[in-house]
Structure 1
Amino acid sequence: MTRPYAEVIGDPIVQSKSPAIHTFWLGKLGIAADYRACHVLSDGLETYLADRRADPAWRGCNVTMPHKEAIMPLLDRLDDEASAVGAVNTVLRAGDGTLTGTNTDLAGFLEPLQPLLAAPHLFRMARVFGAGGAARAIIAALARNGFATVLAARDPAKAQALLDELGRGNDNHAVALSHFAPPTDFAFDDREGILDLVVNASPLGMAGHEPLALDFSHVPPGSVVYDVVTHPLDTPLLVAARERGFETVDGLAMLIGQAAVAFERFFGQPAPRQDDAELREILTR
C-alpha cells in the first residue's frame, strides 16, 4: 500500500524549507507518511492537479510562488481563509477527490502576535513594507484584527489597490517605499495603550537583495518589528531593531506557524510544537 504523502509545489522549489519542517514532525510523531518537494511549472499546474486528484494517497500540497493565485480557478472550492486573502497556499484533497484551497499564511503570521492581540488596545497601527504576494495575507490578518495600516511600496498605486481589496475599510494609507528612508522629526504621542507593528513583507534584506531603507525615527516607541524574510534569519532590520531595544519577530515564526496548520490538515495530528527549538536549530544550519 502506498504511504500517504503531501508536497510543496512551486517554481523554483529547491529553496523551500517545508520538506524539512514536515519531515521533522512526521518523524517526531512516528507517522508513516512522506512530505516531498515537487517542481511544477506554470504550464504544468493543471496537469499536476489532475494527476494528484486521482491519487488517494495524496493528502494535498503547500503552494509557493508563482502559483498562489493561478491555482485558485483550478480548485473545486475555496474556504474562508483563501477567500479573505485572495490567494491559496495549501490545497487539501477530500476522499472523493474534491480539492479545497485554503490559506495558512494568515494564521502563521498572527501566531507569534497572539499574546499581544489577546490584550485590549486603544488603537492598533501597522507600518508594512512590500505589496507583493507575502503582503496579501499580512494585510488581511491585520485588517481582521483592527489595525490601521500604512503600506509602503515602490508602486504606491499597487499598495493602495491591495488596501482597497483587503483592508476592510480601516483607516489605511499607501505611501512610497522611500517615505521611510530619510529621518523625520515627527514627535510621537503617548503610545500607552497603542499596539504598533513594523512588518517587512518585502524581499529587502534577503540574501542577494539590498537592505530595507528604514530610518528608525519613523518607528514609534514600544513597536514590535517583524521580518518575514528567512534567509538570512537575522536580517539587517532585526539586528538594527534589537540594537535599539525593540521586540522582534523573525521569519521562521511565520513559516513554522503556517506549516503547523497545514500539517494537521494533511496528517490528522497536531504538529509537536514542544520541539520548536530543535526544529529551528535544524532549519538554521
Structure 2
Amino acid sequence: MSTRHRAAVLGSPIAHSLSPVLHRAAYEALGLTDWTYDRFEVNETDLPGFMQGLDDSWAGLSLTMPLKRAVIPLLDAISDTAASVEAVNTVVITEDGRRTGDNTDIPGMIAALRERGVEKVEYAAVLGAGATASSALAALARICTGPVTAYVRTHTRADEMRGWGGRLGIEVHTADWAEAAHAFDAPLVVATTPAGATDALVPYVPERPGTLFDVLYDPWPTPLAAAWAEQGGAVVGGLDLLVHQAVFQFQQFTGETRSPLAAMREAGRAALA
C-alpha cells in the first residue's frame, strides 16, 4: 500500500493561497483521511533545497509564483502542456521518486469555459500580456478557430504575445491598450490583468456581450465582471479557474478518478466570503 499521502503548495508570498482550503475539502469530501496538504513559503533560492529534502511520503506539489519556471531544471520530465508555455504549476512524484511537471491552468481554463457552454469560438480577445496571458493563449489554441487579438501596453509585450502565438500555433494580432474597448466585440474576452486594470473599461461593455473570462477571484466580482453580468453576458471567474485546475492536480496526486469539483468550489466560496 502506498505511503505517499503528502502534498503542498509552494510560492512566495504564499499566505493568501486558497490551495490548502480546496485540496483539504476534496480529501474530506472523498474520504481520503490520511492525506495532508500544506503551504510553504519558498522562493527561487530555497527551491532546490526544498525539493532535495522531500521523502517518499510526498505525492505532489502545487507551484505558484515565482516558481513556475524555476522548478523546470529540477524535474525529471515535463508534459507537453507545461513545455508549451514554459511554466509548471504541478509536480507529480511517483513511487519510484520520479518528478514530472505539468500545467493544469491550461486544461483548467478549458474546463471552466466548457462548464459555461463555451466549446468553440471563432475568434477571441485577451486583455494583458503577463504569465497568465500565455496560458490563456495555450487554452485558446485548442478552442479558437480563428485569430486572437491581445491588447497590451508596450511594444515588448506585443512582440512576446505574437511570439507565444507562433509557438502555440495560433494567430495572434496585437493592439494598443488604449484600444482595449474594441476587445468587447469578440465572442470571448479573457481578462488576465491585475485588480483595477480593467475598471476604466466598464462603460464600454456592450448591450449584448459574449463571454467574459476574468481570471481574478478576490475581490469578486470585479467591476468589469459585474457590469458584464448586468448586461446578460456569461461570466467565468478566477475561482472557476482555480477549482478546475485544482481538480486536475488532486486527481494526479491521488490517482482518484472521482471529481471533487463541487466540494472545492463550495470551500473556495466560503473562504473568500
TM-score (ref. length: structure 2): 0.88
Encode CA deviations 1:181-207: one digit per residue, 9 max, x unaligned.
5xx7x9x6xxxxxx71111111133xx
What is the total number of aligned residue pairs between the two structures? 266
C-alpha separation between the residues in 2 aligned to 1:14 and 1:78?
27
C-alpha separation between the residues in 1 aligned to 2:165 and 2:139?
9
C-alpha separation between the residues in 2 aligned to 1:89 and 1:254?
13
Deviation, 1:133, is 1.4
Provide the residue aligned with 1:96 in structure 2: 96
Secondary structure class of the residue paired with 1:127: strand
C-alpha separation between the residues in 1 aligned to 2:111 and 2:203?
25
Aligned pair partner of 1:37 in 28, 39, 50: 39
Provide the residue aligned with 1:174 in structure 2: 174
- Aligned in 2, Cα 1:3/1:112: closer, same or farther, shift over 3 Å? closer
TM-score (ref. length: structure 1): 0.85
Provide the residue aligned with 2:160 in structure 1: 161
Residue pair 1:156, 1:175 contacting (<8 A) in 2 also: no
C-alpha separation between the residues in 2 aligned to 1:87 and 1:8?
15
Provide the residue aligned with 2:272 in structure 1: 284
C-alpha separation between the residues in 1 aligned to 2:155 and 2:127?
11
1:271 aligned onto 2:226: no
Provide the residue aligned with 2:12 in structure 1: 11
1:1-285 alignment runs, 5 A limit: 4-31=5-32, 32-52=34-54, 55-114=55-114, 116-118=117-119, 124-146=122-144, 147-167=146-166, 168-180=168-180, 196-205=187-196, 210-214=197-201, 217=204, 221-269=208-256, 270-275=258-263, 278-285=266-273
Secondary structure class of the residue paired with 2:123: strand
C-alpha separation between the residues in 1 aligned to 2:155 and 2:207?
22
Deviation, 1:219, is 5.4
- Aligned in 2, Cα 1:160/1:169: closer, same or farther, shift over 3 Å? farther
> Unaligned regions of 5+ residues in structure 2, if any?
none
Secondary structure class of the residue paired with 2:200: coil
Deviation, 1:3, is 6.8
> Unaligned regions of 5+ residues in structure 1, if any?
189-194
Instruction: Letter of the 1:157 partner, please give it.
Output: T
- CA RMSD after TM alignment: 2.4
More divergent stretch after superposition (15-24 vs 271-280): 271-280
C-alpha separation between the residues in 1 aligned to 2:50 and 2:15?
18
- Aligned in 2, Cα 1:87/1:222: closer, same or farther, shift over 3 Å? same
Residue pair 1:156, 1:174 contacting (<8 A) in 2 also: no
Deviation, 1:117, is 4.2
Higher relative contact order (CA 8 A, sep 6+): 2
Secondary structure class of the residue paired with 2:91: strand
Residue pair 1:9, 1:39 contacting (<8 A) in 2 also: yes
Residue pair 1:178, 1:213 contacting (<8 A) in 2 also: no
